[in-house]
Structure 1
Amino acid sequence: MLKHLKTLPGHQNPVYALANSDDEGIFYSAGNDKGVVEWSLNDMAFVKIKTPVQSSVYALLNYNNQLFIGERSGAFSVFDFAEQKVITRINAHTKPIFNIQVVKGKNELLTTGEDGSVAVWSLKDFTEIYRFQVAYDTVRAIAISPDETEVVFGCKDHLIKIYNLADYSLKQTLESHSLPVTSLAYHPSGKYLLSGSRDAQLNIWDLPNYAVRETIAAHMFTIYDIAFHPTLPYFATCSQDKSIKLWDAENFKLYKILSIEKGGIGHSHSINKILWSNDGKYLISTGDDRQVMVWEMED
């Protein structure tokens, strides 16, 4: 299913964010190093420091030939690939930004983080359109439904808040996790939502009614990320317990565990982020051990 292909060293501090490029075979990583790093999957090697940043990076998002960089300072920068430079840096929040997402149909950018607010920005000129308070503490995760009718937020107070994307009105509050919600992902077809938490549980919420179909004791510690394969019926989860797990997206069968304990190769500390390459050939992982690991999908 998945086998270790390459470990890419170079980061000097923990890494929190990954993003693909529009260019096939290129991806980016960032964390406490105060720089966004460009890597080549074709050469399995470091390419260059793409751009320096002023504080630690907790979120990266590539969209429409631009890379959005969310910082610990509460600011976000926009690196334009056509101009090959940062075209704007906005002091968006008073506390760290943990997540950035795009509402494609509305041409809007969402930022959120430790201050519990969500800011909505125009992708045309990066002016602030709207701001609303989702929680009184950290909002770590955002997921947008595939049909772009709803957006869900994972909160430190263990709640999941669902908002209508048309007007950002609160639609529903979900409560089943016992600790902060740290990861969210919609199935690509929109038939269910996955939520991961510091309670190490993975919840499957049926749609459209958001009823809990199943709760899986997926990891030993916090589930930091959930990533669906771009074309195949699989999803991966990663955790503070230093493992990556590959699951069947139809019946939730566990296919593979990638960890030092299981295979002798893996991360030695918390895994903070995972990312499928655009073509689905590779899974990229990174975390507190400062390593970027590339795993290859086997036939």
Structure 2
Amino acid sequence: MSKIQVNKLHTLTGHNDCIYALAEGFDPRFFYTGSGDGMVVEWDLINPKDGKLIAKLPHSVYALEVDKEKKLLFIGHNFEGIHVIDLQDNKEIWSLKITDQSIFDIKSVGNELFVATGDGVITVIDITERSIKKHLKLSSKSARVMAVDQEKKNLAIGFSDHSIKVINTDDHAPTQLLNGHSNSVFALAYSPTQDTLISGGRDASLKFWDTNTYQETNKVIAHMFAINFLSFREDGMFFITCSMDKSIKIWDAESHKLLKVIDKARHAGHGTSINKVLWSTYNQSIISISDDRSISIWKVEI
């Protein structure tokens, strides 16, 4: 594990509450964060110290999604709905009230937006028409996280009922039900090669699923506490996980072996739960956000 070099480049502050949401911009030089104080901030990896306030909402923000083709930022405003920012003009162009629940994740697929909420519903929004298309009631428990396989037109959804459900993005029909986790599923990602789906959650374990058969191929006890999120490096060779145990871990995507632990003791890491991580496609740095109200940017040499 010692071959990988990790150096902390920046600690960014400015949010007044726990930071929950993280998304890369259509220009990956920029990224966006959302927090419990309702603030959404744009950060520049070239000059990261000065964040720019994009939106200030009355309720907390758990979910952000950037449509890189349309250059739109979708903000999940808890207990209310969706706010849409034109990133070229940096102004809100429309909003839609859709829920009285927490919004845990948002995914943009073509001209549709999928919104996952605390009542187990996926709301499908027509982006062009700016209207609700349908509601998919998939569980009695929260829909926590989603991942998109563009090639096979699959949307995987992790729930607090411990399951993962896969639906077709064209007709929204359910295609797979994956069981195996013993608690809520918080983390989901398809590999860039799209042959593997990785899931993680409150049971602190990672599960690996073959996307051709959706059979489980491996399980790894990965953290001491809940796994909150995971992100692949652009080339698909490595991925990172973050946890309530305050650590970030770097993994080999093929062997599933742990390569490096980034934590407070060894790398001046976060002091509380790490909620999201992003492996930047701009400069391959790792960005992390935490309950400690800070953002960390890490340089990793593998």
Residue deviations 1:88-147 (CA, integer Å, cap 9, x gap):
12111220110000113xx21100110111111112122111211011110101111131
What is the number of equivalent residue pairs in this alignment? 296
Matched with 1:78 is: 84
Q: Which amino acid aligns with 1:294?
A: I
**Partner of 1:120: helix, strand, or coil?**
strand
Which whole-Å deviations, capped at 9, do the CAs of 1:219-251 have from their partners, x for residues lacking one? 111111010111251110001110000111111
Distance, in Å, in 1 between the alignment partners of 2:258 and 2:221 is 11
CA apart distance, 1:57: 0.3
Structure 1 stretches of 4+ with a deviation exceeding 6 A read none
Give the Cα separation in 2 of the matches to 1:23 and 1:173. Answer: 35
Q: Which residue of 2 aligns with 1:103?
A: 109
1:272 partnered with 2:278: no
Query: In 2, distance between residues paired with 1:168 and 1:154?
Result: 16
2:156 maps to 152
Please say if residues 25 and 31 of structure 2, whose CA atoms lie closer than 8 Å, have aligned partners that are also in contact: yes
Aligned partners of 2:291, 2:254: CA distance in 1, in Å?
31
Write the letter of the residue equivalent to 1:114. G
> Any stretches of 5+ residues in structure 2 without a counterpart?
none
2:73 is paired with a residue whose SS is strand
Q: Is this contact kept in 2: 1:94–1:115, CA < 8 A?
A: no
Structure 2 residue 191 is the aligned partner of structure 1 residue 187: yes
Find the partner of 2:250 among 246, 250, 256. 246
TM-score, normalization by structure 2: 0.94
Aligned-pair identity in percent equals 36
C-alpha separation between the residues in 1 aligned to 2:101 and 2:300? 38
Alignment-derived partner of residue 297 in structure 1: 300
SS in 1 for 2:50: strand
Contact 2:20 2:289 in 1 (8 A): yes
Matched letter for residue 200 of structure 2: G
TM-score, scaled to structure 1? 0.95
**Aligned-pair RMSD on alpha carbons?**
1.4
Q: In structure 1, what is the equivalent of residue 26 of structure 2? A: 22
- Please list every run of 5 or more consecutive structure 1 residues that lacks an aligned counterpart in the other structure: none
Q: What are the superposed Cα offsets for residues 59-78 of structure 1, whole Å, 9 maximum, x if unpaired?
A: 01111211100022241100
Matches within 5 A, 1:1-299: 1=4, 2-63=6-67, 64-104=70-110, 107-261=111-265, 263-298=266-301
